[in-house]
Structure 1
Amino acid sequence: MCGLAGWVDHAGLGPDAQAVAEKMNDQLTHRGPDGSGVWLARRAVLAHRRLSVIDIEGGAQPMTLAEPGRTEPRWVVTYNGELYNHRELRRELTARGHRFRTASDTEVLLAAWAEWGADAARRLNGIFAFAVWDDREETLWLVRDHLGVKPLLYHHDGGRLIFGSEAKAILAHPDVATEVDEDGLRQLALPLLKFPGTNPYRGVAEVLPGQVLSFTGNGVRTHRYWDLAELVAAPAATEDPDEAAERLRSLLHDTVTRQTIADVPLCTLLSGGLDSSVVTAIAAGLPERAGLGSFSVDFTDAAGSADSRSAQDRHHAREAAAFIGTRHANIVLDSHLLSDSAERDATVRARDLPNGFGDLDTSLLLLCREIRRHATVALSGEAADEILGGYLWFSEPRAVAADTFPWMADSPAHGYLHQRVLGTLDPELVERLRLEEYLADAYATALGGLDLDPALAPRERRHREIVYLALTHFLTMLLDRNDRLSMASGLEVRVPFTDHRVVELLVTLPRAVHHAGGREKGVLRDAAVGLLPESVRERRKSPYPTSPDPDYSRRLTDHLTRVLHDPPEGLDAIFAAPALDPRHIGEAARSHGLVSNFEGEVILNFASWLRQYTPRLAL
């Protein structure tokens, strides 16, 4: 896992290109603390920060490749990710005459591009975002993995295209302004929703998951090498729950096996829930991973409690670890540290934006930081809930029936978080931005790209719609969050449930198979028979825990009081006056169980972002 940056200017690079590229690259040091490099030509500059995971001694980037019989490089790559099928690709390419100097997957990727061009993307199994410069054709290619696990942003202004793993790298270019227009403000005001292909910063866009982008003197072109909408609309893979469970178990075993390949210490994130426990059980069952380490999160104030969500997770994580046989550690986070303003600033800085979930984000940042002391790679159970309908909003009647994204419906299925955000915003700003109209347009556009069989039963049709919306507009937000907060400490998190073969199977299963036996994620529970203790295998979904410490809420209110004594410019134009009253925040904290401090967290995140980034806002 790494960070990448650079740009192509068809009018030619200026004399300061090297210095600017190094400045952009320095913004990504956290993503790649093990090495850096810059490659420069007349029209292109590619930069790279490296986190060494495979072939520690080799694999430095940017990496170049010449055509046979020539010495000058034709192809140059800067790459962030892992190819889990690089060994098979290496054998195939070797048979085609390619010779390799290193054991890195980067060299395999570059050879694959030389052999198949953009068609190489269809052959890749992994999580990746990369840029390839073809010096002979003077073409830049940007490619992103199937579900968008790894980020890839760009800024296009005519004859120039600037790219980077994170917005901060692009914003470090002197010709890119830190501005947020009205569309950007709308995105910031809707933090529970990921708008595909966009970014709140003006002029910054993202390569879509499953997309290839090319940039030549004639401009930008894109195409999809993998289309989720086509898969969701495809006929059912099977309607037999037993067959589906067997196929799923086989696929998970293969993908987890692939994703445990690393030349550095590897562990798992084990919450004690079904998804992470299945991944951990398969990984720990591999002969080469005997004694695998696993980690869970807890809070100081909950350490002696049996009632909090984190306490329940702690119990089930220990039970799963004992059954599976991992070396388990429960990382206990101090709620004083969670409320520290410097840690909030670090969390906002990691995400480049104020969008977030308060102590859920800070605790993930601190957890990853602690795990990084023991391992460089961690496997996660993320994405199973979105694919298999594990959230309450897949079944809660008001959420399912709502003519909007179900997790943003006026229902208890997601803690009314959308309504709570709107309640904090300045009413005049909400009216000017026409947020509900914008949300309705986004929803209609999302479903407009899905061509389902009209013969589908209404319940089945709605289930497929929600799966599609969850994968394209909710999971992408969570994957971005996980990438930013883990890579802030140089920890690579791998996500076996996002293997495109697993997704291709699961999204084409009927709702009845997803919920086999009348249980949410029933097909996964059936696939896990024998892997887990029954209490864990049949455990219901439990949200990621928040700190239950009432002192955390009090410290947050005190922090907000200090911030509002000298607020950053723009804060009072975004939020309603009552929302900026710490007493109101305290009352809101006591009245909600899911993300109990959400209103205060949102305001403090915006204050941190405004202070750190000083963006120009269209207010």
Structure 2
Amino acid sequence: MCGITGVFSSQNLQKEKLDKVMQYLNKRGPDGQSTVGYKHCVLGHTRLSIIDLKTGTQPMSSYDGRYTIVYNGELYNYKVLKQQLSFSYRFVTQSDTEVLLAAYHVYGVDMLKHVEGMFAFAIYDTQKETLFVARDPIGMKPVVYAYDDHTFYFASELKAILALLEIPQEVDLVALSDFFTYKFIPAPRTIYKNILKLEAGHYLFMRMNSSSLDVTQELYWEPKYNPTIKTLDEATKTLSHIFVQSVKDHLISDVPIGALLSGGLDSSSILWAIKQNIQDVNTFTVYVKDGKNVDEDILFARRVARHFGTHHTELSVTAKDFIEHAQESMLYFDEPFADPASIANSLIAKETSEHVKVVLGGDGADETFFGYTKYIQLYRKQAWVRIIRSFQKDWILKYYFGFDKKLLNIVNNYDEASLALLDDIYYSTPSLQMRMFDLKHTLPDYYLRKTDAMSMLHSIEMRAPFCYRPMVEFALSIDHKVHLSHPQGKAVLRSFMSDKIPGYILTRKKQGFVRPVHTLLSSDKVIYIKRTLKDCPFVNTDFVTYVLDNAHIYRLMYWKLLVFAWWFDQNRTHINY
């Protein structure tokens, strides 16, 4: 993984413009950093070396010097694509970065039809003076950007954009309403009104227009439900090839690779597929140690690790660990973000980084193969939910996002546009609606955002075979009734793995990671929140006091307020109010 940044302007630029920004991307790329400058474009890159360790340095230019790229990610089909492109392009390195340059040289923006992987990149055309910025289809790698009539700025992280802009930014109250509704801010918004996230499956194209910039945005891929596979048998047979190939592609690396292991279906399935290609595997498990109860994950993970003969490492998380790492972990997101599992992700990333540079995990399995309990519940209850159509959205918001309309007043001028997000994704059944919402918003902007941020905090690359575009497209081609034909969901994955992993994994009930948020319910934190938000113009302080005085009832809102207070406290100087 890497960090990327750049500026494209109709006005003359100096390379030094990026020098002060690079420090904010160091954790994303501790193995080296470099910048390159042209009259109207400067590009910067920090590198975590994974493939072609010696000659993969960026920014990288094409063999003829016309195109220059900065790129964050991994291109999993780069070897096949390189063979196809070698008739039209002269390669000088072994890196996947140059394959992206070659693909753009041959196909232009249509290159996005040919590449498979996780990526965020920018390619500058020195002849036509254009800039092309793209994000992968599923949303594994982030890009944030800002622009005015003359200048376009982009980076992997908000902190770098803020450093480039140099002036305080206005808070987006719709984005803040989003945060207090969903626990995260869905793209394209960020917490700042004039800074945006590039959405998954989108690209930006910029060109000079006399003395100003012309900026266009296009959607090149989105998840679409197209249920052509109607039987479990057909789905199982097709998954056989796609799943094995996806994991195999995700093992491409010039450095050691490991796997996260929870002892559940997803991680055990990935481990089985890894073992078809690599015999010497490192696995890692994080579990909660509270001195009273035994975390089931550790027991099941041990059994699976022994079954497959891995080199297994266990990391225990105590309430003290949770408290000590909470603030650092949540502040790395640069905007309010309230998934407490991020803290455990940070701790396991820190541990695994001492052993490997790349680790595979099960992100995306629940969204693609209908694994969440909420999907099963919605499917079973859909008959009566559909009777009262207007009730469907409110019911989903309450039970699956923990959103209570009584708490609307927490944000001054709460914008109900946040509540309309589900209206943009309408499907005939609530289970399908929820699943498509997750694929479009929750997966890229919540789960994958967490994975990227916490792995980059500790300079390690996390990969997700279930988030491979061919895998997602295949899962979307299966009738949802087939997916939900098993009482625990994931019928297709369970069917395929039935003779490949132990039976106790197949029948194990889904376990969410235990998040000891209650450890942060303390009087000193309540005092801190009240003091920090006392003069904050964005929240209703009377309502904040009401929530804090009833924190045992409103635990989730309490946690959101604590995260917001941390963010507000650290970012006051960036805010224009």
Aligned to 2:359: 378
Note closer, same or farther for the CA distance 1:410–1:581 as it changes in structure 2 (3 Å cut). Answer: closer
Q: Which residue of 2 aligns with 1:455?
A: none
1:264 is matched with 255
Structure 2 equivalent of residue 470 of structure 1 = 438
Deviations 1:220-258 (A, max 9, x none): 112222232xx31x3x23112112112112111001001
Partner of 2:321: 337
**Which residue of 488, 513, 517 corresponds with 2:457?**
488
Q: CA 1:399–1:239 in structure 2 vs 1: closer, same or farther (change >3 Å)? A: closer
- Shift of residue 561, structure 1, vs aligned partner: 4.0
Secondary structure of 2:552's partner? helix
Structure 1: distance between partners of 2:58 and 2:563:
35
- The alpha carbon displacement at 1:611 in A equals 1.5
Residues in 2 aligned to 1:349 and 1:192: alpha-carbon distance in whole angstroms:
14
Partner of 2:12: 12
CA shift for structure 1 position 558 = 3.9
- Alignment correspondent of 1:84: 76
Alpha-carbon spacing, 1:554–1:380, altered in 2? closer, same or farther (3 Å) = closer
Provide the residue aligned with 1:356 in structure 2: 338
Amino acid paired to 2:2? C
> Structure 1 189/519 Cα, relative in aligned 2: closer, same or farther at 3 Å?
closer
Distance 1:575 1:603, change over 3 A: farther
CA distance in structure 2 between the partners assigned to 1:578 and 1:11 by the alignment: 48
Range moving further from structure 2, 215-224 or 238-247: 215-224
Equivalent residue for 1:49?
46
For 2:557, the aligned partner's letter is E
Q: 1:406 to 1:39 in 2, by over 3 A?
A: farther
Among candidates 130, 145, 155, match of residue 121 of structure 2: 130
Determine what percentage of the aligned residue pairs are the same residue: 28
Counterparts of 1:386-425 in structure 2, within 5 Å, are: 386-397=367-378, 401=385, 403=391, 408-411=396-399, 414=400, 417-419=402-404
> C-alpha displacement at 1:443, in angstroms?
2.2
Give 1:408 shift: 4.6
1:563 aligned to which of 492, 514, 528: 528
Q: Of 564, 570, 576, which aligns to 1:612?
A: 570
Name the TM-score, length of structure 1 as normaliser: 0.86
SS at match of 1:180: coil
Corresponding residue for 2:222? Answer: 227
Which amino acid counterpart does residue 487 of structure 1 have in structure 2?
M
Q: Secondary structure at the match of 1:493?
A: strand
- Aligned partners of 2:574, 2:57: CA distance in 1, in Å? 38
Cα deviation for residue 354 of structure 1 reads: 2.0
Counterpart check, 1:368 vs 2:353: no
Paired position in structure 2 for 1:25: 22
Distance across 2 between alignment mates of 1:349 and 1:188 = 14
Q: Partner of 1:327 in structure 2?
A: 311
Indicate which of 35, 38, 41 corresponds to 2:35.
38
Say which SS state the counterpart of residue 21 (structure 2) adopts: helix
Query: Does the 8 Å CA contact 2:171/2:575 hold for their aligned counterparts?
Result: yes
C-alpha deviation, 1:176, in angstroms: 4.9
Q: Aligned in 2, Cα 1:499/1:187: closer, same or farther, shift over 3 Å?
A: same
Cα distance change on mapping 1:364 and 1:510 into 2, 3 Å: same
CA distance in 2, matches of 1:117, 1:19: 30
1:299 corresponds to 2:288: yes
Distance 1:444 1:583, change over 3 A: closer
Residues in 1 aligned to 2:494 and 2:252: alpha-carbon distance in whole angstroms: 26
1:100 aligns with 2:91: yes
Contact 1:564 1:580 in 2 (8 A): no
Tell me what 2:471 maps to: 502
Deviations 1:242-287 (A, max 9, x none): 121121121110010010111112111111111111111111231x
Q: 1:59 aligns with which of 53, 56, 60?
A: 56
- Separation (CA, whole Å) in 2 of partners of 1:433 and 1:51: 41
> Structure 1 residues 580, 273: closer, same or farther in 2, change over 3 A?
farther
Q: For the structure 1 residues 512 and 368, does the alpha-carbon distance in structure 2 shift closer, same or farther, using more than 3 Å as the test?
A: same
Give the match for residue 276 of structure 1.
267
Alpha-carbon offset, residue 613 of structure 1: 1.1
Is the contact made by 2:139 and 2:199 (CA closer than 8 Å) also made in structure 1?
Answer: yes
Q: Secondary structure at the match of 2:237?
A: helix
In 1, the alpha carbon distance for the partners of 2:279 and 2:18 equals: 43
Structure 1 residue 212: deviation in Å? Answer: 2.0
Q: 1:354 to 1:585 in 2, by over 3 A?
A: farther
Structure 1 gap segments, 5+ residues each: 68-72, 453-457, 590-596
Cα distance in 1 for partners of 2:249, 2:368 equals 21
Residues 565, 579 of structure 1: alpha-carbon distance in 2 compared, 3 angstrom cutoff: closer
Structure 2 residue 423 is the aligned partner of structure 1 residue 444? yes
Which residue number corresponds to residue 133 of structure 2? 142
Give, in whole Å, the separation in 2 of the partners of 1:129 and 1:266: 22
Q: Distance in 2 between matches of 1:441 and 1:515?
A: 27
Q: Match of 1:390, SS?
A: coil
| Deviations, residues 201-220 of structure 1 (Å, cap 9, x unaligned) | 12111222112210112411
Task: Give matches, 1:134-173, under 5 Å.
Answer: 134-173=125-164
Q: Distance in 1 between matches of 2:129 and 2:165?
A: 24
Per-residue deviation, 1:297 = 0.8
Deviation at 1:569, TM superposition (A): 5.8
Alpha-carbon distance in structure 2 between the residues aligned to 1:370 and 1:386: 27
Residue 217 (structure 1) aligned with residue 217 (structure 2): no
Residue 355 of structure 1 aligns to which amino acid in structure 2? F
Distance (Å, rounded) in 2 between the aligned partners of 1:114 and 1:403 = 51
C-alpha change, 1:93 and 1:572, in structure 2 (3 Å) is: closer
Task: For residue 612 of structure 1, give the secondary structure of its aligned residue in structure 2.
Answer: helix
The code of the aligned residue for 2:32 comes to G
Q: Which moved more, 1:479-488 or 1:45-54?
A: 479-488
Query: What is the CA distance between 1:181 and its match in structure 2?
Result: 2.8
Q: Could you tell me how far 1:116 is from its partner in structure 2?
A: 1.3
Flag the 1:55–1:614 CA change in 2: closer, same or farther, 3 A.
Answer: same
1:30 partner SS = helix
Could you tell which deviates more after superposition, 141-150 or 108-117? 108-117
Distance in 1 (CA, whole Å) between partners of 2:75 and 2:94 is 12
For the Cα contact (< 8 Å) 2:144–2:197, is it kept in 1? yes
Any conservation in 2 of the 1:394–1:406 contact (CA below 8 Å)? Answer: no
- In structure 2, stretches of 5+ residues that fail to align are none
In the alignment, which of 161, 173, 186 is matched to residue 195 of structure 1? Answer: 186
- Once residues 498 and 531 of structure 2 are traced to their aligned partners in structure 1, the CA distance between those partners, rounded to angstroms, is 57
**RMSD of aligned Cα (Å):** 2.5
Q: Which moved more, 1:324-333 or 1:179-188?
A: 179-188
Note if contact 2:263-2:302 (Cα within 8 Å) is conserved in structure 1.
yes
Report if aligned partners of 1:74, 1:134 keep a CA contact under 8 Å in 2. Answer: yes
Query: What is the total number of aligned residue pairs between the two structures?
Result: 565
- Secondary structure of 1:280's aligned partner: helix
Aligned-residue offset at 1:610: 1.1
Preserved CA contact (<8 Å) 2:51 2:253: yes
Which deviates more from structure 2 when the two are superposed, residues 173-182 or residues 206-215?
Answer: 173-182
Q: Is the 8 A contact 1:390 1:521 kept in 2?
A: yes
Letter in 1 for 2:284: F
Distance 1:607 1:260, change over 3 A: same
Distance 1:423 1:337, change over 3 A: farther
Offset of residue 383 of structure 1: 0.7
Selected match of 2:492 from 523, 531, 541: 523
- Separation (CA, whole Å) in 2 of partners of 1:312 and 1:488: 28
Aligned residue type for 2:318:
D
